Amino acid sequence: MTDSESRLIPPPLTLYVHLPWCVKKCPYCDFNSHALTENLPEGDYIDALLADLEQDLPLVWGRPVHSIFFGGGTPSLFSAKQLDRFLSAVRGLLPLAPNAEITLEANPGTVEHDSFLAYRDAGINRVSLGVQSFDDTALRRIGRIHGAREAEKAAEMIRDAGLDNYNIVLMYGLPGQSIQQAVKDVETALQLSPSHISHYQLTLEPNTAFHANPPTLPGDESCWDMQEASSGLLAGEGFEQYEISAWAREGKPSAHNLNYWRYGDYLGIGAGAHGKITLAADNEIRRTSKQRHPKAYLGSIQTGQWLAESRSISEKERCFEFFLNQLRLRGGVHMDDFSPRTGLDWDFARENVAKAEVRGLLKRQANRLVPTGLGWRFINEIQELFLPQES
């Protein structure tokens, strides 16, 4: 056994479940989502998810799952009855950690979700509500099919169902948006008492309708001002920024996302879902992805061909991915995580860390590397230092 083999230790494990259908594809969305043009095949899809999970089990025998995240698409198009069936089966296949966080992404429109009380009874204990904005004009400009009042009503229904751990997703830098309007969205969200707010800047991603026909967006400086003004408001209301785009009340960060950013492991099941699994005995970290199109994925229940890709991550990639992820955390890079989560000696990263320190982008605080004020604004520049160099 080599030094690197002895250092690689499996990190916490989570489960990501991709449910790919939406009522309508948003023009800014580059996720693997598909407009629903016929009846939702939810029963068949749940069957496929469980078969997919069973073929992944040998990768994670005996490891507890600390969270489950239903992402999409619009997962709340699925009924509580079918999600209950899935979760009941999962409990028989995998050990769930006590009080495991189980999150459902949901949209505000009433046609896009079951009763939130029914979801809670099915085992969902956290909801992430895709609001994006509370301004009806802004919502129309970005192709959303709900209005501000529907969003507020959905938040009230979530709270009334006893789901007090819930997230509101907001976007800023929207077409025609002013700083005042961006801040107003945050103020409205705060009035609804979420435990978590995700606050993203709209970007024009390849292979989207907005990329092909781009709207006019606020400039970089205006977006920075929106972010700074919103950050001040959130901090003043007791929210802590633990990741670039994520704010939470004390003790309420997203367990699934935090594990992701700390370079933890996750099984990915569902159409196009990605996974990352540490195989310590083989000194290997493996990435997987599943059949991307829903029809191909559903067909895998006959063929058994769930995987679209499965590959081992090189040492250089491990180093880059570790810093790419942990540098998004406001608390910085956990240096003690590096060797057990990458299997590499710290010397592998030392030179590039020193470059970031010399440029005033990173500073050391006990066992962490924390971005400076300058570094936090230019995180991409720090991440680029760790890009694998072509040999």
The answer to whether residues 9 and 84 belong to one domain is yes
Helix axes 42-56, 294-303, angle to 10 degrees: 60
Domain region containing 209: 3-259
248 and 337 share one domain: no
* Residues 208, 325 within the same domain: no
Share of the chain above pLDDT 70, in %: 98
Give the CATH number of the domain where residue 40 resides.
Answer: 3.20.20.70
Rounded Cα–Cα distance for residues 232 and 186 (Å): 11
Is residue 42 domain-resident? yes
pLDDT digits (tens, 9 = 90+) for 367-379: 999 999 999 989 9
Residues whose CB is less than 8 angstroms from the CB of residue 357 and which lie 6 or more positions away in sequence, other chains included: 363, 364
Considering the domain boundaries, does residue 25 fall inside one? yes
Residue 218 lies in a domain: yes
**Within-domain flag for 281:** no
Determine how β-strand 246-248 pairs with β-strand 196-201.
antiparallel
CATH number at residue 375: 1.10.10.920
Write out pLDDT tens, residues 165-206.
999 999 999 999 999 999 999 999 999 999 999 999 999 999
Q: Helices 347-358 and 315-326 meet at what angle, rounded to 10? A: 40
- Expressed in angstroms, the distance from the first to the final Cα of the chain is 27
Residues 222 and 356 grouped into a single domain: no
Instruction: Identify whether residues 249 and 321 lie together within a single domain.
Output: no
Question: From CA 66, how far away is CA 366, in angstroms rounded?
Answer: 27
Q: Are residues 245 and 323 part of one domain? A: no
Do the beta carbons of residue 226 and residue 218 sit within 8 Å? yes
What is the sign of the dihedral through the CA atoms of 120, 19, 68 and 247?
Answer: negative
Is residue 84 domain-shared with residue 209, that is, in the same domain? yes
Give a yes or no: residue 303 inside a domain. no
- Average pLDDT of every residue of the chain: 95
Which of 241, 259, 277 is the endpoint of a domain? Answer: 259
Burial grade of 200 (CB within 10 A; 0-12, 13-18, 19 or more) = middle
- CA pair distance 227, 200, nearest whole angstrom: 9
Band of the pLDDT at 388, cuts 50, 70, 90?
A: confident
The answer, as to whether pTM is greater than 0.85, is: yes
Q: Mark whether 219 and 349 lie in a shared domain.
A: no
